Amino acid sequence: NHMIILKSLILLKKQYGIKDIKFQVTFSRGQYKLFDRYVCENELSTNIEYLGVISYLELQKKYLSASLVVFPSYIESYGLPLIEAAILGKWIVCSDLPYARDVLNKYEGGVFAKYNDENDWANAIYDVLKNKSYSQIRPYENKNFSSWPRFFDLI
């Protein structure tokens, strides 16, 4: 999942001249050798910040200070980081897949990219950074409705 973001970072640097972008990951250097090797081979070391495991409070601080949140997962049943970021009113670039559309239904800060297309990711990230990141988004509101009655009606 993260490799598509690395590939899009290369495009953001080359095509759009964005050199000072940071991608923060919640794992440690050395934990994913392929990721680390790709970072080194493509001169992305200054663009990656390895956070390791962090507390929920620290994670909230990271969300709040971020210009946008990227969520490249393509194997999810429910993307909790999507809700966490949306509740804080953050712009979110995520995989254009049914789970993400379900989670971010009616959230105006969601931008969807083809999960396996680094050009689409780079364009979406660029668009948010240059055109949208300064606009205010109404935070996601959980209406706390239950679908259990509907589920039982179906069976």
Question: Domains, the chain, ranges and CATH?
Answer: 2-135 (3.40.50.2000)
Q: Looking at residue 76, what is its pLDDT?
A: 78
Q: Say if residue 148's pLDDT is above 90.
A: no
The alpha carbon dihedral of 77, 104, 96, 123 has a sign of negative
To the nearest 5 percent, what fractions of the chain are helix, strand and coil?
45, 10, 40
User: CA–CA separation, 141 vs 107, rounded Å?
Assistant: 9
The per-residue pLDDT for 154 is 63
pLDDT tens-digit map of 14-70: 999 999 999 999 999 999 999 999 999 999 999 999 999 999 999 999 999 999 999
Confidence of residue 113 (pLDDT cuts 50, 70, 90): very high
- The pTM score is 0.86
Q: Please choose, from the candidates 50, 59, 121, 119, the residue with its C-alpha nearest in 3D space to the C-alpha of residue 92.
A: 121
Specify the amino acid at residue 56.
Y
Residue 152: pLDDT band with limits 50, 70, 90: low
Count other Cβ atoms within 10 Å, centred on residue 98.
9
Distance CA 112, CA 115 (A): 9
Q: How far apart are CA 66 and CA 39, in angstroms?
A: 21
